[in-house]
Structure 1
């Protein structure tokens, strides 16, 4: 008689490792889909209170041995920080010896499939599913996941399970080649999400004294229209403002309004903006030259009448 899988008697069993934003979202969403979910953390903390409010089962790593004996997982979803991901996977692989292999996923953008090799060596089907999504609250992020692109790197044996997970998440799967260079990939996504957030924070800081509580919604609307134009027309044709017009006088006024350290930051941001304006073919040669002078304060000093006195 064939051995009976002890996990088949109930719902799909999914263990989520890492109770951060991604882990909370996936634990909440999989629980909403009727799965038996356990959210694991290294140590006790506020995440357990949140999980209890969501009727989610939680466990600390020290409880893992007992849980493995009672009901081993069919899926492992690794969602810890990038700096501890390799250690976490290796630790779990050490604990999974003798456990019926299942499907193991990590959600990092900077790390590839090779990080899951310790589990693959035990017979687990492995994949990397990286949602192109800034995660916030669990329910909000789960809803956003349903329209997000999720990039995939997977072993051949895991492809059918990846498709199942994609349907569960409701996302658009985009398959990536094996062993590609993840550094520029991750940088591109960081620029579009994290760096954009920092720029909006600086914009809000400058605008809040005038608009107060309306600064954030005003900037959200402005940035939203800019992103929509980027999507519809591309970067070259959607670019607006004084740089693409070659208005060096306005840009100089911006610089004059800032303290020295912020003016230096603004000059650094002007460089890629000016490059784009030049590539668009919409910026005159004279305008480009005038703006380039503003990027180099020492050149301006050399051009000033006082410096020649």
Structure 2
């Protein structure tokens, strides 16, 4: 249930004037605002109908939110997303922000500030509107142009691998980096709660390292999977068998890691202290030097995590450079 403060915030939004000081009076506007008031949640807009925007929109809709406006540089993608969530198409990002209480800019990180500046340059004061981006390593300051014309701005980064509509359900139970103040913070935390998620707090100084760690797990694991599939093929396993077989292994590993600490989830020769098997692996990988180097690097990390002596396993490597 929304807090009293959240209900008051939604109620205040219902009485605001539309663009140019003209009262919102269309039937669609009234219906949207009344629905938002009944559920005690802000109406949502989405700028950017790519993989993240699509997944977030669908997840929010399934959690009881109303997505009312969508725009994208990809008109076909915007049309598909709008149809899937029952939203209206808008021709510009500004039109989306004007239509919704809370707008998500799910655009590439490098253009977030550009889009924000374009909205600010074309629009009137945006008091009682909120705009949030979903970038991992940027803060609310990326939306500074919108803050200067009265909008509430913040960050909602889903710590999840979003690859489009099919990954919308992955957002349930995920962690979200939330940066916002006051009423907007309350709105974003209400959405996180509706998705069964949890908040993760990252200091400003740690944003880039946080993002790098997330990339290691998300994209890094997929890159590792693809390299392993290639090795399965080299071993004589058909690709249409190799990929699902290794994906099942990856799923099991992730399930073990989630159930306990990292060391308890480890398996393999480095964990057992089996130097002979590691040596056999390195000989077999000699025709694939890049894969061999990757194997050694990961085996060293595995051995250290398992408390094994790296040198005794035949894995002595040059130390990693230390960060000053």
TM bin, normalised by shorter chain, reads: 0.7 to 0.9
2:303 — aligned with what? 274
The worse-fitting range, judged by mean Cα deviation, of 204-213 and 19-28 is 204-213
Q: 1:228 to 1:143 in 2, by over 3 A?
A: closer
Question: Contact conserved, 1:106 with 1:127, CA < 8 A, in 2?
Answer: yes
Instruction: In structure 1, list runs of 5 or more residues that go unmatched.
Output: 297-309
Instruction: In structure 2, list runs of 5 or more residues that go unmatched.
Output: 1-14, 19-23, 34-42, 319-324
Question: Contact conserved, 1:103 with 1:126, CA < 8 A, in 2?
Answer: yes
2:256 — aligned with what? 229
Determine which of 181, 193, 202 is the counterpart of 1:155. 181
1:302 — aligned with what? none
Determine which of 68, 89, 105 is the counterpart of 1:58. 89
1:114 — aligned with what? 141
Deviation at residue 30 of structure 1 after TM alignment: 4.8
Q: 1:193 to 1:91 in 2, by over 3 A?
A: same
Matched, 1:261 2:261: no
Deviation at residue 4 of structure 1 after TM alignment: 4.5
Q: State the alpha-carbon separation in 1 of the partners of residues 147 and 212 from structure 2.
A: 28
1:292 — aligned with what? 315
RMSD: 2.9
Question: Contact conserved, 1:38 with 1:59, CA < 8 A, in 2?
Answer: yes
Give the secondary-structure state (helix, strand or coil) at the position aligned to 2:70: strand
Question: Contact conserved, 1:242 with 1:250, CA < 8 A, in 2?
Answer: yes
Q: State the alpha-carbon separation in 1 of the partners of residues 271 and 202 from structure 2.
A: 37
Q: State the alpha-carbon separation in 1 of the partners of residues 206 and 257 from structure 2.
A: 26
Matched, 1:240 2:271: no
Q: 1:227 to 1:178 in 2, by over 3 A?
A: closer
2:115 — aligned with what? 88
Count of matched residue pairs: 281
2:224 — aligned with what? 199
| Structure 2 length-normalised TM | 0.75
Deviation at residue 50 of structure 1 after TM alignment: 3.1
Deviation at residue 133 of structure 1 after TM alignment: 1.1
Q: 1:163 to 1:49 in 2, by over 3 A?
A: closer
2:71 — aligned with what? 40
Q: 1:58 to 1:68 in 2, by over 3 A?
A: closer
Deviation at residue 158 of structure 1 after TM alignment: 1.8
Question: Contact conserved, 1:27 with 1:38, CA < 8 A, in 2?
Answer: no
| Structure 1 length-normalised TM | 0.78
Q: 1:210 to 1:180 in 2, by over 3 A?
A: same
Give the secondary-structure state (helix, strand or coil) at the position aligned to 2:199: strand
Q: 1:277 to 1:127 in 2, by over 3 A?
A: same
1:301 — aligned with what? none
Q: 1:49 to 1:276 in 2, by over 3 A?
A: same
- Return the index of the structure with the highest Cα Rg: 1
Give the secondary-structure state (helix, strand or coil) at the position aligned to 2:157: strand
Question: Contact conserved, 1:153 with 1:178, CA < 8 A, in 2?
Answer: no
Instruction: For residues 121-170 of structure 1, give each alpha carbon's deviation from its aligned partner in whole angstroms, at most 9, with x where no partner exists.
Output: 222222211111111231x32222122222211113422222333345x2
Deviation at residue 29 of structure 1 after TM alignment: 4.4
1:136 — aligned with what? 163
